[in-house]
Amino acid sequence: MKKMNMKELAKELNVSIATVSKALRDSHEISGLTKKKILEMASKLNYTTNPYAGSLRNKKSKTIAVILPEVADSFFSLAINGIQSVAEKKGYHVLIYLSHEKYSNEKSIVGECNSGRVDGVLISISSETTNPDHILKLQKENIPIVFFDRNFEGLNISSVVTNDFESGYLSALHLIKNGCQNPVFLSISSSLGICNKRAEGFRSALIEKKTGRIKNPVIICSGTYQEINSQIKKLLTGKIRPDGIIASVDRLAMSVYLICRETGISIPNELKVAVFSTMETAPILNPPLTTITQPAFEIGRIATELLFKKIEKKAFSVVDENIILPSFLIERTSTAAS
């Protein structure tokens, strides 16, 4: 069965192609009767309008790009749901691109976004990204952009993030209150604003409470799975061991749990653990894991709404907004007082 086009449809009905076009877009210029006839024939002949021909004319792709470091992370999965929920409502299509936390990947993906393929871009930057030029270039091309969760600081681009400093601060206080003398913060990047803010909040609490004997309580965990595991293992079995950990992502907390099992370190007695995460399994881990839970779906949803505001009012150059949604500390056994 060959794909039929508008011209053929028009011929079939003995009307002009323009009439068909207008009827299909429900123009008021077309009489109810012809409209009806056209619609019927279209569905009978299984006609579907070619989206790319329209894109070419209208310079609108009805498509947005979502660029994220990883999908196999509970936060991003939920965020995608939020994004999709509004894109769908707007009749938009969603292209997903993964940077795998590599700056080079992110750069080339972003580079592709100014081709007209997409009407807007949602991005959560990779942990390696320290140079925002690729993003600024996109902005200069006048493509609407919104950061979600992981933004690049100081760029005058809309973003939706959580109260990172405060969450870091409160999570540290929580550990300290429950008896930690030597908490550390496991970060995944020294450049990621979101991590740094959380780490700063964390640090502030230690200073304020005069807690911690470890010179630098913010530890960057990077490298492969293996490397990170051995790095954490060294940390937990070294001479100066922390008695509390705030992990910045799912994976790091899992590592810590695994290593504690393996080495027999008892959580929360010897080590208290909390994580920035939306993991659904947190309450059924051994022991149940304290989380600082971000409103992932909402972050995705609101970021997308912001994006559409820019896409739809592109002419008037909508002002950029930076929205901060609160995360919630959910206390569980992993940080219980000793």
Chain residues binding a copy of itself by CB under 8 A are 1, 3, 46, 48-53, 55-56, 61, 63, 71-74, 77-78, 80-81, 84, 93-98, 111-112, 114-117, 137, 140-142, 250, 254, 257-258, 261, 279-281, 283-288
Alpha-carbon distance of 62 to 91, in angstroms, equals 7
Asked if residue 110 lies in contact with residue 138, where contact means CB atoms within 8 angstroms, the answer is yes
Cβ neighbors of 163 (< 8 A, separation 6 or more) are: 324, 325, 326, 327
Amino acid making up residue 310: K
CB of 208 to a copy of itself, least distance (A): 32
230 part of the interface to DNA, by CB under 7 A = no
132 part of the interface to DNA, by CB under 7 A = no
210 part of the interface to DNA, by CB under 7 A = no
Q: Which of 332, 256, 298 is nearest to 80 (CA)?
A: 298
The listed partner (a copy of itself, DNA, none) that binds 58, CB under 5 to 8 Å by sort, is DNA
- For residue 158, report the phi and psi dihedrals to the nearest 5 degrees: -55, 150
Contact map string, positions 46 to 85, toward DNA, x by CB under 7 A: ---xx--xx-xxxx--------------------------
41 part of the interface to DNA, by CB under 7 A = no
What is the sign, positive or negative, of the torsion defined by CA atoms of 172, 173, 179, 181? positive
User: CB under 7 A: which stretch of 32-40, 86-94, 190-198, 290-298 binds DNA?
Assistant: 32-40
Question: Which residue among 1, 3, 210, 319 contacts DNA (CB under 7 A)?
Answer: 3
Residue with smaller CB distance to DNA, 53 or 207: 53
Residue 246, classified by CB atoms within 10 Å of its CB into exposed (0-12), middle (13-18) or buried (19+), is: buried
The upper half-sphere exposure of residue 47, i.e. CA atoms within 13 Å in the direction of its Cβ, equals 21
List residues binding DNA (CB under 7 A). 3, 5-7, 14-19, 21-22, 24-25, 28-34, 49-50, 53-54, 56-59
